[in-house]
Amino acid sequence: MTDTTKHTVFPASKAGKHLANLFIASCVFGLISFGFSMALFGAGSLWLIHAAFGVTLIHHVTVRCLIVKKTEPDVFDGNSPAGLRFGSLRHAFNICFMVFIALAWLAGGILSITFQRLNMWELWYDQDPSAYVVADLAADGAAIIESGLLMAIAVFSWKLRNEAAWERSKVGSVEKV
């Protein structure tokens, strides 16, 4: 048996555990919102929910691939927040991009609710709109929840960045986090 540490997908820290749960919830609510918005093919949100879903999916898959990618040996434990393989999570661009995606989800949800409630958009012609309205409002609610989840991911990524900086300061490393 070897003495190597088993790598976790997310850092073994308080922020890392929250990030793992938030990424799972983000995938679930994003898929729910996308699915329900397909009742009207996304027209209620001017396709913002669909665009945000696609960008979120690409982001989550990319971050996952970057995290599990093997890197050169590091002075830190493989599951440490300061480890090299978690650099993509704590990078400032990632945090800003998560806020941007969250705002896109929020805009899609609010725009669709506005069109539904103010009856600014006639999409049903002679059909009974009740099923479409319920599906669209469910998509809007899930989109707003998804926006909150992505903002929470950005906050916990920032906390992970602070944890990594604190851990690197303990070791005395001058390398930029």
Number of domains within the chain: 1
Radius of gyration (Cα) for the chain, nearest Å?
20
36 alpha carbon, distance to own chain's centre: 19
Structural domain contains residue 9:
no
34: which DSSP letter?
A: H
Q: CB–CB of 136/112 below 8 Å?
A: yes
Structural domain contains residue 91:
yes
What is the mean pLDDT of the segment spanning 27-41?
A: 89
Q: Left (φ > 0), alpha (ψ -120 to 50) or beta: where does 41 sit?
A: left
The H-or-E segment that residue 50 falls in is helix 48-68
Return d(Cα 36, Cα 46) in angstroms, integer: 14
Structural domain contains residue 30:
yes
Provide the domain limits for residue 111: 14-70+77-119+133-164
pLDDT tens-digit map of 79-135? 655 566 677 787 889 899 999 999 999 999 998 888 776 665 555 555 555 677 788
